[in-house]
Amino acid sequence: MMKIRCIFLLALVAAAMTMAAVAQETADSVRAAAPNVVTGQTEQAGQATPLSRDTLPAAVTVVPDTTAGKPLITHYEPHRGADFRMFKSVTNPNTHPYSFLDDQTWVGIPLFLSGLAVKSEKTAFRQNYKNPNTRIRLIKYNFHNEIDNYTQYVPLALTLGLHMGGVEGRSDWPRFWASSAMSAAIMAGLVNGIKYTASEMRPDGSTRNSWPSGHTATAFMAATILHKEYGLTRSPWYSVGAYTLATATGVMRVLNNRHWISDVLSGAGIGILSVELGYGICDLLFKNRGLLRNDLSYHPDLRANPSFFSISMGVGLGNKNLVLPAFDFHIPAEYLDGEEIDAEDLEPLHLKFRTATAVGAEGAYFFNSYIGIGGRLRVKATPINGWSQFALSEQAYMQDFFKDPLLENSVHNIKVTIESDHITEFAADAGVYLNLPLSSRFALGTKALVGRSLMADIDITANYSGEQLALNYDALLNDDDENMFVRTGKMVDYSWDYIDVNASNSMKFGTGVSLTYAHKNSFSWRLFCDYDYARKTFKAVYHPLGLLEGLAPDLVEFVSMGGWDMTKPAESRVRKSLHQWVLGAALCISF
């Protein structure tokens, strides 16, 4: 496995070096048009035009000349071709040192705290370990992919490849090594210190070191290093790509059932904060030594750069109740002997929703300051009130049923297990985004989206273990209820779906309003209120008689000859319009 990872990372470094070579050719063509550094002038139509500090290209540096009282123009020659000067210190004299406090954005702290907030919402995204009959997960389907073991390192591999390819970033090699090592040390200390203090159980129940996610912290640390070295100094697209990949790594950790969403959010915050602290400490130590390029801009300008990629968190409001009609068991009249079914058995299924928790990723590219196109991915978990009590009451009902002297000696165990106690919606949308700049730092936004909504089920399974019974046909014909079943001596362990509530996949339409504030270093904060509409068919499948398939299959077969299929569960369905609101905040990379 380690050999495969090394080959994967080397391939990424090679690819980045190839990209760097292309970028270097472009830089060479620009450098060929550099001014005459001896005269400090450019030739234009036979005339000499004086150079000023504002018009100097990146390859030219102004050095004070105390003897002449005038600035001398010297030529700074960037390294050409592949750069393997791993421990040689190089400084561009045209750079200025960074200030520790001015360079800190502290955006990692709100991300970490948002993970802490989601962690406390136990019924939405995490298991209730106090209930031994519960094994809840965000996605109950068996999903497994190990790509997140590799993607966590990709941004760092790209950074190394660009450095080796000779593309100048923020730092030379020694300063880059020191800043990266300091960032990694801080990240490892924070992650492991919290992991083994909090002792949070993983969703798959394997170990107690879930919160925060080390994979996600590593991914966001690597992404922030690429953001610092190249996103801020050369192009914000490096930052967008890096943070998109880091977000995908965090999502994969949740899909693989290795982490809760709270672990991922806190891990992302630690990853960003570690790099800011690591680079800040090295800025104090190195000052301007080893700097090759400064940031393109300190504050993002929402008039010039309204495009964004964001990670968001919010609370979902809207429909609070779902009532499904009484279940229809399709029992033939002859089996009822003219009696009415107990009204309590035909009560509607009433589901009460709690406040939902929503996390998502969103991005848009703007053609100008006002209009663009983009999309959004969102996961929203809505807990169901009283689902655990419902499961336990159903289990108690079945246990009482088996206290009958005819059955009690054959039943060893009967229990129900909650597979999921919240409806989880996965939504993907795309559409038009609008931006109204109020200033360079503030902007209002809105959007019109259309997309697809998928919902995971809430369900309960049941298990029966004990001795299988055979039907005594002679006793049945003579109405001898006490001897209707004969013990077979055959032990069975039988599980079945007890109740399942699901919703149809559907189209959805959305809009929303937002207020964005440009923070610093391409980071922005956004407050938003989103509205979504969808119309879905909810279906409940209820099968309390499923235990008879394991307990007394002869009885099931006998009854089926009279026209009643006991293996078929009862169903109930209703079509409902959903009006959903999400209030929240987002961290954005503006570009």
Class of residue 343 by CB neighbours under 10 A (exposed 0-12, middle 13-18, buried 19+): exposed
Q: 502 in a domain, yes or no?
A: yes
Are 344 and 249 contained in the same domain?
Answer: no
Radius of gyration of the chain (CA): 32
Q: 515 in a domain, yes or no?
A: yes
More confident residue, 477 or 136: 477
Q: DSSP letter string over 236-273?
A: HHHHHHHHHHHHHHHHHHHHTTS--HHHHHHHHHHHHH
Are 199 and 321 contained in the same domain?
Answer: no
pLDDT at 67 over 60: no
Are 91 and 235 contained in the same domain?
Answer: yes
Most confident of 215-229, 348-362, 400-414, 415-429: 215-229
pLDDT in tens, 555-589: 888 888 878 888 889 899 999 999 999 999 999 99
Distances from the Cα of 364 to the Cα of 308, 361, 370, 581, angstroms: 6, 11, 12, 21
CA 356 vs. chain centroid, Å, equals: 16
From 23, 49, 75, give the residue that closes a domain.
Answer: 75
Are 352 and 211 contained in the same domain?
Answer: no
Are 417 and 437 contained in the same domain?
Answer: yes
Are 71 and 109 contained in the same domain?
Answer: no
Q: 149 in a domain, yes or no?
A: yes
Which element (helix H / strand E) includes 3? helix 2-31
Are 71 and 91 contained in the same domain?
Answer: no
CATH number at 316 reads: 2.40.160.20
Q: 113 in a domain, yes or no?
A: yes
Terminal alpha carbon distance of the chain: 37
Q: 25 in a domain, yes or no?
A: no
Whole-prediction pTM value? Answer: 0.78
Are 274 and 411 contained in the same domain?
Answer: no
What is the domain extent for residue 219?
87-286
Are 59 and 118 contained in the same domain?
Answer: no
d(C-alpha 98, C-alpha 451), whole Å: 44
Single-letter code of the amino acid located at 378 = R
CATH number at 216 reads: 1.20.144
Are 472 and 577 contained in the same domain?
Answer: yes
pLDDT in tens, 356-367: 888 899 999 999
pLDDT at 495 over 50: yes
Q: 245 in a domain, yes or no?
A: yes
Q: 22 in a domain, yes or no?
A: no
Q: How many domains does the chain have?
A: 3
Are 371 and 496 contained in the same domain?
Answer: yes
Are 276 and 316 contained in the same domain?
Answer: no
CA 138 vs. chain centroid, Å, equals: 12
Q: 292 in a domain, yes or no?
A: no
Structure tokens at 485: 């079943």
What pLDDT score was predicted for residue 541? 93
Single-letter code of the amino acid located at 166 = G
